[in-house]
Amino acid sequence: MSLSTALISVDLVVFQLSENGELQVLGHETPESPKPRLPAGRIDASEDQCLEDTAKRQLARFISTPASYFEQVVTIGDNQRDSRGWSMTVVYYALVRPCPNNIIESSARWIDMSKGLPVTSLAYDHDQLVTEALERLKNKIQYSVLPLYLLPDEFILSDIQKVFSVVLGKAPPMRSIRNRFLSCDILQETGDKRYGSNRPAVLYRTNPDSKQWLFDRLYQTVKM
């Protein structure tokens, strides 16, 4: 196979938080591999105006919930990563808000993450792709509003803290969460509260008109 006929695809690393608040990645089974693999597909020149269109179209094959966030991570390729020959892929990661029963393809399933990897090893070099995407998420979550894209439409401040804890393995104190997310127009109060064993907590939603995106970095490093 020559480079001009190389296999070119867009691969997706899709993260969500489970009902128990654990990080999961989307995988699916294929007849040709005993291991699950990441969602991936070829570019369709008749439908896709850009690479992100390809990514969104591939995601829609497997889940009903559109991603809340997409970002291109890396482009990799060589003649070793696929047994069929020269292969190149553009890797995106996507964040999905929690949504029960959002799987629409029977071959797809959410796979728990543990110690930075899927608990079920993925086919090809897809474990490596997950690692690449997770490192990007770990880095960017420290200075952006990305935690909000893993939360449901309504949430309390401690939910934001839990996202940091799940993704980074550590979390800033609630004082820092309040200073960061309530010091500008990122959040809007819904007018409702969440009731539990402690005092009622204010429910917030993301302000779609907010221009705030970046902050000072939380930590100098994400290495634990």
Q: What is the pLDDT along the chain (224 residues), one digit of tens a residue?
A: 444 556 788 999 999 999 999 999 999 999 888 999 999 999 898 999 999 999 999 999 999 999 999 999 999 877 776 667 777 899 999 999 998 889 999 999 999 999 999 999 999 899 999 999 999 999 999 999 999 999 999 999 999 999 999 999 999 999 999 999 999 999 999 999 999 888 899 999 999 999 999 999 998 654 43
- Start and end residues for every CATH 3.90.79.10 domain found in the chain: 3-140
Give bridge partners of residue 9 from the DSSP assignment: 89
178 residue type, one letter: R
Which pLDDT value is given to residue 2? Answer: 46
Which pLDDT value is given to residue 33? Answer: 86
| Structure tokens that stand for 106 in this block | 């029977």
- Smallest Cα–Cα separation from 221: which of 143, 144, 146? 143
Which pLDDT value is given to residue 83? Answer: 67
Report the b/e string of 56-92 with b at 16+ CB within 10 A.
bebbeebbebebbbbbebeebbeeebbeeebbebbbb
- Smallest Cα–Cα separation from 76: which of 64, 67, 86, 84? 86
Domain 3-140: give its CATH architecture. Answer: Alpha-Beta Complex (3.90)
- Smallest Cα–Cα separation from 205: which of 100, 63, 97, 71? 97
Q: How far is 24 from 167, CA to CA, in rounded Å?
A: 10
Give bridge partners of residue 75 from the DSSP assignment: 90
Those residues with Cβ within 8 angstroms of residue 223's Cβ, 6 or more apart along the chain or in another chain: none
> How do strand 40-41 and strand 33-37 relate by DSSP bridges?
unpaired
- Start and end residues for every CATH 1.10.10.10 domain found in the chain: 146-206
Class of domain 146-206: mainly alpha
Q: How far is 211 from 134, CA to CA, in rounded Å?
A: 25
User: Are 207 and 187 contacting, i.e. CB atoms less than 8 angstroms apart?
Assistant: yes
pTM of the model: 0.91
